[in-house]
Amino acid sequence: MLILLCESPFQNEGVEHAIEIAESALEKGHLVDIYLMMDGVYGPIVTQSGEPFNMDSVSDRFKTLMKKGANISGCRVCMELRGVNEDHIPDGMDIGGIFDLSENLSEADVVLSMVGAD
């Protein structure tokens, strides 16, 4: 399964849905790739905190997904344009490009696109 995530956290429920779908798929033994593009690259930023609201940060949830076996990668150009660098993302997250997305698309049996379109 490939989840193409282009939405930023807290913008709407898209990121939450993507994380929940990925968790469920991993629990059922499926392979899960998440590719972050556009504002989706804001999701795993490690300086986020859910503390004021007594909730897990989005970046911690991405780290948990990686520990469970999800492969998470972000578009390098999208990151650079938004000022997100390797210091901002969790260890183990890949940074790639359009060719990585192309490879993920060709290998996936299912593609979920969370692009924020109505």
Using alpha carbons, select from 69, 78, 103, 57 the residue that is nearest to residue 5: 78
Q: pTM of the entire structure? A: 0.89
CATH no., domain 2-114: 3.40.1260.10
User: What is the pLDDT, as a whole number, of residue 114?
Assistant: 86
pLDDT of residue 13: 85
Mean pLDDT of the chain: 89
Domain ranges of the chain: 2-114
pLDDT tens readout for residues 6-36:
998 877 788 999 999 999 999 999 999 999 9
> What are the pLDDT digits (tens) for 39-75?
999 988 888 776 777 667 888 899 999 999 999 999 9
- Which long-range CB contacts under 8 A does 26-29 form with residues at least 24 apart? 26/65, 26/68, 26/69, 26/70
pLDDT of residue 8: 87
